[in-house]
């Protein structure tokens, strides 16, 4: 999901996860109408929202962040899910007893994704996971996001880094002022001239004004 600031990307994620109530339209997941459902119901259906700015519990330890996010249902045990998260992000295992606020931005993002996985999502919505991170860390995180996608978790990624997003994604939507302006397979979108017009064009404009 691409688009300039204020295009409505986060609002879209908030509407899906039940934090915001849409004023019109409907949201369907696996053939089921989920419009207006409360966040805890949406999570139990298998949609997890990994919010912008990570929003990890700063005063809790790494392990406690994972414990808090584990949803008790008929699914897999906490231990199994934690082991999986630790496999994906070995640094979380190393620092499992550290208070989350003491971790670097990259580690906090890994914790945010690890924590989201504790709810066993079928659809994982990531809101700008690259925000404020060094390029090297961003690549590391995107490699793991691709792994998750190969393991059968659908990913809905909101990203400002257009190039990276189009390289990783299968299908892309361009959102502006709350409307889908363009959509198509990521590869085609990458070659589409209109994309630079809508999106990168906008960026250039701002640069000129500055």
Q: Which residues form the interface with another protein (CB under 8 A)?
A: 17, 19, 39-40, 42-44, 48-49, 51, 55, 57-60, 64-65, 67-69, 71, 115-116, 119
C-alpha distances out from residue 1 to 80, 138, 161, Å: 31, 17, 11
Tokens of residue 199, six digits: 């999106």
DSSP annotation string for 183-205: EEEHHHHHH-HHHIIIIIHHHHH
CB of 75 to another protein, least distance (A): 12
Phi, psi of 178 (to 5 degrees): 80, 5
Nearer to another protein, 48 or 176 (CB): 48
Nearest to 111 by CA among 137, 136, 134, 135: 137
Query: Which strands form 123-127's sheet, in the order they lie side by side?
Result: 47-50, 123-127, 154-158
CB of 2 to another protein, least distance (A): 23
First to last CA, the chain: 26
CB of 136 to another protein, least distance (A): 27
CB of 109 to another protein, least distance (A): 15
Nearer to another protein, 75 or 202 (CB): 75
CB of 59 to another protein, least distance (A): 5
C-alpha 58/C-alpha 8 separation (Å) is: 27
3-class secondary-structure state, position 182 = strand
3-class secondary-structure state, position 13 = helix
Sign of CA dihedral 164, 167, 171, 177: positive
CB of 49 to another protein, least distance (A): 6
Tokens of residue 7, six digits: 């295009």
Nearer to another protein, 69 or 91 (CB): 69
Nearer to another protein, 88 or 168 (CB): 88
């Amino acid at each position: 999901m691409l688009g300039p600031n204020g295009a409505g990307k986060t609002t879209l994620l908030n509407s899906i996860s039940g934090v915001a109530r849409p004023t019109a339209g409907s949201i369907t997941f696996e053939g089921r109408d989920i419009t207006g459902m409360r966040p805890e119901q949406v999570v139990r259906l298998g949609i997890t929202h990994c919010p912008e700015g990570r929003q990890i519990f700063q005063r809790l330890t790494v392990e406690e962040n994972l414990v808090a996010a584990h949803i008790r249902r008929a699914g897999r045990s906490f231990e199994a899910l934690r082991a999986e998260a630790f496999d994906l992000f070995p640094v979380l295992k190393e620092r499992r007893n550290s208070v989350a606020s003491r971790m670097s931005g990259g580690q906090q993002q890994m914790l945010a994704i690890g924590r989201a996985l504790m709810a066993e999502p079928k659809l994982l919505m990531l809101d700008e996971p690259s925000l404020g991170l060094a390029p090297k860390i961003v690549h590391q995180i995107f490699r793991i996001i691709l792994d998750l996608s190969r393991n059968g978790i659908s990913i809905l990624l909101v990203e400002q880094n257009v190039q990276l997003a189009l390289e990783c994604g299968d299908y892309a939507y361009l959102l502006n002022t709350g409307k889908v302006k363009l959509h198509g397979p990521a590869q085609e979108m990458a070659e589409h001239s209109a994309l630079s017009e809508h999106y990168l064009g906008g960026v250039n404009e701002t640069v000129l004004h500055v």
